[in-house]
Structure 1
Amino acid sequence: MLRKALKKTTQHKKITEFLKKYNIPQEYFAANRKMISRGVLIGLFIAFIPMPMQMAAVVAVTPFIKFNVPVAIAMCWLSNPVTMPPMYYMEYLTGSFFLGIQPEPVELTLEWFKNNLSKIFIPLYVGTAFYSVFGSIAGYFLVNWLWVKSVKKEQKNK
């Protein structure tokens, strides 16, 4: 169902005219299994990284890898002001576990972050690397599996 909606939307006249007008390659809006899966992979990878301008990072990757850019940008929105604190805290705890260090008790104040950034930086990014790599790979394979399952179900119903 979603697969058909994506294909129909990307082939809409206004979208194709927009892509032609600004000379944007159509591959960046392609709605096939390969491009959608790659979009999920790139988007989730970047979504787990604590950094500003994640959507700009998605666009910066486009010259090197072909993927569905709108899907990747949508995946970046998984880390938003509501989800960031628990995501980054989970990444910090995971990084501390992997490094074998005792995590600092966290306070959600700017003063605490200014004073403790040097202590939490490495554990945070170790946890970030773990979730970025494994979360994006899991998302990639999940989308591939769901896409194939959807196609097989549709063929079976015909």
Structure 2
Amino acid sequence: MRKTLKNTSNHPKLKALIEKYKIPPEYLSTNRKMISRAVLLGLFIAFIPMPFQMLAVLAFIPFFKFNVPLGLAMCWLSNPLTMPPMYYVEYLTGSFVLGMKPEPVEMTLDWFSHNLDNIFIPLYVGASLYSIFGSLLAYWAVNHFWRSSVHRDKKLHRDDR
């Protein structure tokens, strides 16, 4: 993955696009820190049940430097196909943590509009847990595997001499 990102970032068409639209290069940087921050932020937002998740990722641009396209892509973990099971598991987890008995869920808009008061707090408690721990775990994994990849490449390079 590291090599693919490095090769893609040096592509002439991408450089022409950056120059044409005057995109700051740090928003497209493919180093370990920028990639791991993008994964952290994108997944953190992805687990939170809210509309306009991509806009939430973009709202962090003035405060953090991260690879913006990857951050936007990571928030698409929660897409129309994955949202119902993802939010259901978050609701069950939140109910368990709060010691509440989960309501039987029907996957209809009518049911959600009538029961939003009952499921709101358990859903967001579960979402907070998955958001925090899931994004931190992914951040650690990206850093760990990136460093081990660099270490392995350096060792192979030393052994070839």
**Superposition TM-score tier, normalisation by shorter sequence:** over 0.9
2:37 is matched with which residue? 38
Question: 1:78: which partner in 2?
Answer: 77
Equivalent residue number for residue 134 of structure 1 = 133
Superposed displacement of residue 13, structure 1 = 1.9
How far the C-alpha of 1:157 sits from its partner, in A, is 1.4
Which blocks of at least 5 consecutive residues in structure 1 are unaligned? Answer: none
Aligned to 1:103: 102
- TM-score, normalised to structure 1, is 0.95
What is the CA–CA distance in structure 1 between the aligned matches of 2:73 and 2:62, rounded to whole Å? Answer: 19
Counterparts of 1:7-156 in structure 2, within 5 Å, are 7-156=6-155
Name the SS for the 1:116 alignment partner: helix
In the aligned structure 1, how far is the partner of 2:137 from the partner of 2:94?
Answer: 19
Q: Determine the C-alpha separation between the residues in 2 that align with 1:22 and 1:63.
A: 18
In the alignment, the residues of structure 1 paired with residue 119 and residue 20 of structure 2 have an alpha-carbon distance, to the nearest angstrom, of 47
1:23: how far off? 2.2
1:44 CA drift (Å): 0.3
1:130 aligned counterpart, secondary structure:
helix
Question: In structure 1, the residue corresponding to 2:77 is in which secondary structure?
Answer: coil
- Quote how far apart the aligned CAs of 1:143 are: 0.2
CA distance in 2, matches of 1:100, 1:132: 20
Write the letter of the residue equivalent to 2:67: N
> Aligned partners of 1:16 and 1:132: how far apart in 2?
34
Q: Please give the alpha-carbon distance, in whole angstroms, between the structure 2 residues aligned to 1:5 and 1:55.
A: 24
Q: SS where residue 77 of structure 1 aligns?
A: helix
Count of residues paired in the alignment: 157
Once the two structures are aligned, what percentage of the paired residues are identical?
Answer: 63
- Distance in 1, matches of 2:9 and 2:44, equals 24
